Structure 1
Amino acid sequence: MSSNNHIRQYKHLTQIIFFDLEFYVPVKDRESERKDLRANPFQEGHFLMGGTFTKKNPLLPDKKLNTIDFWIWRYHDNETVLLEAIVTYLENVWNEIKEKPDQTDLIIAGIGVSRADLGYLYSKSLQHNTRSQDHLFSIFYQLRIIELESMAVPFFSNKNGLLYPKTTGQLLDLFNINRERKSGTEVWGAYDGRDFKSIEERNSNEVTDMIQIYDRMVASIHSQNASIRFSSDVYSKLMSLVKKDKDKNYIKHRYTHNKDSHVLKAGVGISERYKLFKIMKTAKFLK
């Protein structure tokens, strides 16, 4: 929220909030010929159930996570009070950011966060008059957005020339995250049955998965830059630093010796690159 042209990223202030929301859709609006977003903040009977927010300082060495969740059943089924709590939380994080006027803006990240969660939250906050219109716009639309479903596009082949956002299932498969993916529509029935625990657990798991996708995306980018080709001397140094035989064999099977260098084999996938990166990181070969 700064007009300063010289933006900096202070380690203790640079923050990403990973979050995911759950919306309630009444029975009459659940059927649709298209698999599109059926939740609509302006339709009668639709409301925000809540969500999970996890704050991460990516530039700090310990990368400690701070998680908080908000659910309408904890606020006496009052959507206005729920929204007040979420807006206050975001205001508090923004205030931390504004400790330094040249600190980069608050970052949010998620899957579909730009086309669903952010707009829904903003619209509902307006309807319930949680803050003035200009203040709400400032809170929500000066955020920097990391949209994982779009950022992952270059990791896929996209052979037909169409750059199209990826599904959660595609992201979980790509980054080798073992999580059974159920339909998001199940939360409506769970709410009808007052099974709040399953909604909270599902939502929390989704945010955990987002963070893993982000971390593995970052690691994959690093691994592509760091491990495509090594000179023989550097390769020997790497192997001397790696302690476990299984890790050494993993590296050997993915590199080919070419004259005076070792080159990553064609066809080594994202998950394999990620594991290579982790091995090299553990061996303190990479900083």
Structure 2
Amino acid sequence: MLFFDLEAYVPPSEREPGRSSLVVNPTRPGHVLLGGCFFSKGFSDPIPEAPVLQGLWLWEHASEAELLRAILARFEEAWRSQERIKILGKPTTDLVVCGAGIAKFDLPALFCRAHLHGLADPAELYEVFLKTRPIDLANEASFLFPEEPVLYPKTTREMAGRLGLRERKGSSKGVWELYEQQDHAAIEQRTAAELLTVLDIYRHLQQRISRRR
């Protein structure tokens, strides 16, 4: 399994909200991918108390294209190394990825930005990024809110609050100002904190499901 969380930058002139609460649009040239944090584990492996995260960042590479090449290689390695087991009697063949909101932004953004830079044939990029099996915790955690009659994706803060966890990062919009201030360390720390919260949420959801069994 590959857990990850990405950050992107939106120029000031393009920050007006549109039809969605999500301002960033990775098909727009100026909406640059800044990078993110990654963590891998086997299906049966527990999440360690102090997981070692890998960061891949724009300021560590010569360009956004080079950053995306590194992320593409990270995904390709995860495809090769994923543990093969049977679930409900069927063998797992697809790479399982996990995060909060990754189906809405992170995975499409990787495809769009890599395609924009012409890193590979679009069909190959689709195979690597969009044929994964995402566990999007924003959707999976709806059962934690039985008082809500409508199934609707939850924020990381809402999920963490319901589970008694501390949401450590806050709005991603603050990353834009940090990037403009060139405070790269703060961006790295915020994103690592977000991924640690994701891992905590996953661990708690898995424990709740196991107790019901």
Q: Is the structural similarity TM-score above 0.5? A: yes
What is the root-mean-square deviation in Å for CA atoms of aligned residues?
2.2
C-alpha contact (below 8 Å) 2:26/2:32 kept by paired residues = yes
Deviation at 1:66, TM superposition (A): 5.1
Instruction: Give the alignment partner of residue 127 of structure 2, picking from 127, 138, 141.
Output: 138
Choose 1 or 2 for highest CA Rg.
1
Aligned counterpart, 1:241? none
Q: Secondary structure at the match of 1:176?
A: coil
Distance across 1 between alignment mates of 2:80 and 2:18:
44
The runs of 5 or more residues in structure 2 that have no matched partner are 86-90
Deviation at 1:62, TM superposition (A): 7.5
C-alpha contact (below 8 Å) 2:69/2:119 kept by paired residues = yes
1:105-155: per-residue Cα shift (whole Å, max 9, x none)? 211011100000000111011111111121111111221110101111011
Q: Secondary structure at the match of 1:129?
A: coil
Aligned counterpart, 2:197? 209
The two structures have a TM-score, normalised by structure 2, of: 0.89
Deviation at 1:168, TM superposition (A): 1.3
Distance across 2 between alignment mates of 1:58 and 1:99:
9
The two structures have a TM-score, normalised by structure 1, of: 0.67
Aligned counterpart, 2:88? none
Aligned counterpart, 2:55? 69
Distance across 2 between alignment mates of 1:183 and 1:59:
32
Aligned residues: 207
C-alpha contact (below 8 Å) 1:56/1:63 kept by paired residues = no
The runs of 5 or more residues in structure 1 that have no matched partner are 1-15, 226-287
1:211-266: per-residue Cα shift (whole Å, max 9, x none)? 100000011122234xxxxxxxxxxxxxxxxxxxxxxxxxxxxxxxxxxxxxxxxx
Aligned counterpart, 1:220? 208
Cα separation, partners in 2 of 1:173 and 1:122, compared to 1, 3 Å: same
C-alpha contact (below 8 Å) 2:84/2:93 kept by paired residues = no
Distance across 2 between alignment mates of 1:103 and 1:111:
22
Distance across 1 between alignment mates of 2:111 and 2:39:
19
Deviation at 1:90, TM superposition (A): 0.9
Aligned counterpart, 1:200? 188
Partner letter of residue 19 of structure 1?
F
Structure number with the bigger relative contact order (C-alpha 8 A, sep ≥ 6) is 2
Partner letter of residue 189 of structure 2?
E
1:142-189: per-residue Cα shift (whole Å, max 9, x none)? 211101011110111244x21111111110101111234422100000
Cα separation, partners in 2 of 1:35 and 1:62, compared to 1, 3 Å: closer
Distance across 1 between alignment mates of 2:17 and 2:73:
35
